[in-house]
A and B are shown apart, each in its own frame.
Chain A
Amino acid sequence: MTRLHKGALDKTPGATPVPMPRIQRETWVNWALLGLLLLAPMIANALGEVYYVNLATRIAIVTMAAVGLNLAIGYGGMISFGHAAFFGLGGYVAGISAFHAFDMTPVLSWPITMPGTDNLLVIWLVAMLSCAVLALVIGAISLRTSGVYFIMITLAFAQMIYYFAVSWPTYGGEDGLPIYLRNQFPGLDTNDPLTFFLICFAALVLALAITARLMQSRFGAALTMARLNETRLATAGIAPYPIRLVAFVISAVITGLAGALFADLNGFVGASMLSWHRSGEIMVIVILGGVGRLYGPLSGAMLFVLMETLLGGLTEYWLLFLGLILLFVVLFARGGVMGLLAGRARHE
């Protein structure tokens, strides 16, 4: 774990020395946030307050979706406005699979017979594979463009899938698909809120660890350079396109897995998981937390979900206040929550 907190990118022993206090501060903040997320639901569970356990689960899952997007936006410089497509696809894999497992009908009868399942491991694998394939297609086309065009073409692909889901009657269309029984993890009782939280938490930690490790590797070095200076990368003989494409796929896979967990948490999957507001929301979380900071998504998601919960209870015009807070963060608190908590970003 320690390695994870030394910083993913440039702030490694072989790179820019950053003043020591700052490293410690960010590491400390990271640990504190992760610890808070782990301990709060445990305490809540001990007090019998199941609601807070589910709230923490929600935070963990939303964080994970944002960790995926952060890989694309923060580390890869690819501003995807269509990650809801992967979030939703992951959710639909879980939903469809559970639907068929419940009905005892096959998901596919041609070319191979594929029965529905409620085994989470299988569902996750299928969700990740589906997202990888979708991201490969979307990325291959979208990465030919850049800048605003990239933002808009990813949005367009997500909209296509959204409209498809809304009007496809088999799996509920706009009504969506309830998951009557939460999908099962071998050997664990996923219906127990704390157990399910711990599963999601473990998945989140894994996603964070993989992202950190990835960004220290050769691939990460190339991706960083693709973001900072594409020409430099090409001049070194490394084509930026495949590097970006692979990063986009990995990013989609992480967000897709979060989508599958989200569907199981809510016991429901619907087209709203695919809407452009959802893409915007995940992006908001990434930026709120601090773009390109490993733990930015965690702080962003905590703040976002708490604001949603607290403000939503106070006034029916809470979106107005959410808007004002967001505006304030963009204009005056650059670097997001992590910028406030742990000082300026390490790069740029």
Chain B
Amino acid sequence: MTLSLLFEQLLNGLQLGTMLFLMASGLTLVFGVMGLINLAHGSFYMVGAFVTAWTAGTTGSFWVGLGAGILAAAAVGAVVELLVIRRLYHRQHLDQVLATFALILIFSEGTRWLFGSSPLWLNVPEALSGAVALPGGSRYPVFRLVIIAVGVLVAVALFLLISRTRLGMRIRAGESDREMIGALGIDIAKLYTLVFALGAALAGLAGSMIGALQSVQVGMGEPVLILAFVVIVIGGIGSIKGALIGSLLVGLVDTLGRVFLPSLFKLFMTPAEASGVGAALASMLIYVLMAIILAFKPKGLFAAND
């Protein structure tokens, strides 16, 4: 393992982490402000990817597709909030879990009904394809660097939004006291729709970009959703800072675990066995991480309201 390879793997972990942050920040915001567990968050990721792929395929431009994907995710988020989600704010977590589980089924099958069973085509835009040289000689895809940059931008923007703007003030007020912002004369219903759509848009953004790297297919949101939940639980639900730290932690642990565990086992096993055992443990690693963190910090690393 050379230093440059290690550096490259750290970048990979960082990239996975920033992508997770796009998902997790929306999820944690919605929980922090409205107290809602949204299992259907992965569906917005899928909507973003499908609309981007479809639009890009039709117009020939990734960028038009990206814009359409984000807008569509936000719009779908707003509609879902108006029709379904707002009936769930005062419900128990159990009802929220079931209702949003139902939404997953509806979105997955609805998407399949609209777009068919086959995965859609979506590629990295021409301008961002290719790879650049890294210090140490290896090469790294430009598009992944862009994802990291977008993740960092979104993180900064979110921090500014929450700490500097009126909307952010309302969001913070909502986190600390839901009754109070009602009393302040803020239209709480509108605020909730806005926050929910914002979260959906971020998920859509993640889906659009990742769709270009991976495959755009029904069900693509579910593995990401579970990872995003692991992230926000590790970070402390409701905390944007926690989501950021959690994302990076999960991204790095997952990537490095996949790389190093098999190598570790190769010290005392045959390569094939080591690869198998290492991969098995690597796939369990982030869940182990989460269990350990919660065992010692039952409300995550940065519990928002504690």
Interface positions of A (Cβ within 8 A of B): 73, 79, 81, 141-142, 144-149, 151-153, 155-157, 159-160, 163-164, 166-169, 276, 280, 283-284, 287, 291, 317, 319-320, 322-324, 326-327, 329-331, 334
Could you tell me if B102 and A330 are in contact, using CB atoms closer than 8 angstroms?
Answer: yes
Could you tell me if A320 and B113 are in contact, using CB atoms closer than 8 angstroms?
Answer: yes
Q: List 10 A-B contacts (CB under 8 A).
A: A79-B97, A141-B291, A141-B294, A156-B230, A167-B283, A319-B105, A319-B108, A327-B84, A327-B102, A330-B98
Binds A, one of B87-95, B121-129, B135-143: B87-95
Most A CB within 10 A of own CB, among B31, B94, B229? B94
Q: Kindly list chain B residues whose C-beta atoms are within 8 Å of the C-beta of A163.
A: 280, 283-284, 287
Interface positions of B (Cβ within 8 A of A): 31, 37, 84, 87-88, 91, 93-95, 97-99, 101-106, 108-110, 112-113, 226, 229-230, 233, 237, 276, 279-280, 283-284, 287-288, 290-291, 294-295, 298-300
Q: Kindly list chain B residues whose C-beta atoms are within 8 Å of the C-beta of A326.
A: 98-99, 101-102, 105
Complex-state Cα separation, A326 to B98, whole angstroms: 8
Q: Kindly list chain B residues whose C-beta atoms are within 8 Å of the C-beta of A146.
A: 298
Could you tell me if B294 and A287 are in contact, using CB atoms closer than 8 angstroms?
Answer: no
Q: Kindly list chain A residues whose C-beta atoms are within 8 Å of the C-beta of B101.
A: 280, 283-284, 326
The residue in chain A whose Cβ has the minimal distance to the Cβ of B225 is: A276
Q: Kindly list chain B residues whose C-beta atoms are within 8 Å of the C-beta of A329.
A: 98
State how many angstroms separate the Cβ of A300 from the closest Cβ of chain B.
11
4 closest pairs, A vs B, by CB?
A323-B105, A320-B109, A167-B280, A326-B102
Decide: A160 near B233, CB < 8 A? Known: A322-B105, A330-B98, A330-B102. Answer: no
State how many angstroms separate the Cβ of A20 from the closest Cβ of chain B.
29
Complex-state Cα separation, A128 to B294, whole angstroms: 27
Q: Kindly list chain B residues whose C-beta atoms are within 8 Å of the C-beta of A324.
A: 102, 106
State how many angstroms separate the Cβ of A147 from the closest Cβ of chain B.
7
Could you tell me if A156 and B287 are in contact, using CB atoms closer than 8 angstroms?
Answer: yes
Could you tell me if A73 and B94 are in contact, using CB atoms closer than 8 angstroms?
Answer: yes
Q: Which of these, B91, B98, B300, contacts A149 with CB under 8 Å? A: B300
Could you tell me if B280 and A168 are in contact, using CB atoms closer than 8 angstroms?
Answer: yes
Could you tell me if A151 and B280 are in contact, using CB atoms closer than 8 angstroms?
Answer: no
Could you tell me if B226 and A149 are in contact, using CB atoms closer than 8 angstroms?
Answer: no
Could you tell me if B237 and A149 are in contact, using CB atoms closer than 8 angstroms?
Answer: yes
State how many angstroms separate the Cβ of A271 from the closest Cβ of chain B.
12
Complex-state Cα separation, A326 to B95, whole angstroms: 10
Decide: A320 near B105, CB < 8 A? Known: A155-B229, A326-B98. Answer: yes
Complex-state Cα separation, A276 to B227, whole angstroms: 13
Q: Which of these, B103, B226, B284, contacts A327 with CB under 8 Å? A: B103
Could you tell me if A152 and B233 are in contact, using CB atoms closer than 8 angstroms?
Answer: yes
Complex-state Cα separation, A59 to B152, whole angstroms: 50
Could you tell me if B95 and A330 are in contact, using CB atoms closer than 8 angstroms?
Answer: yes
Could you tell me if B295 and A144 are in contact, using CB atoms closer than 8 angstroms?
Answer: yes
Complex-state Cα separation, A81 to B105, whole angstroms: 17
State how many angstroms separate the Cβ of A337 from the closest Cβ of chain B.
14
Decide: A284 near B98, CB < 8 A? Known: A141-B294, A145-B294. Answer: yes
Could you tell me if B226 and A159 are in contact, using CB atoms closer than 8 angstroms?
Answer: yes
Decide: A327 near B233, CB < 8 A? Known: A149-B294, A164-B284. Answer: no
Could you tell me if B93 and A145 are in contact, using CB atoms closer than 8 angstroms?
Answer: no
Since A79-B93, A169-B276, A330-B102 are in contact, a sample of 11 more A-B pairs with Cβ atoms closer than 8 Å, ordered by chain A residue number, is: A148-B37, A149-B233, A152-B230, A156-B291, A167-B279, A283-B94, A320-B113, A327-B99, A330-B88, A331-B87, A331-B99
Complex-state Cα separation, A273 to B280, whole angstroms: 18
Decide: A149 near B94, CB < 8 A? Known: A156-B230, A323-B109, A331-B99. Answer: no
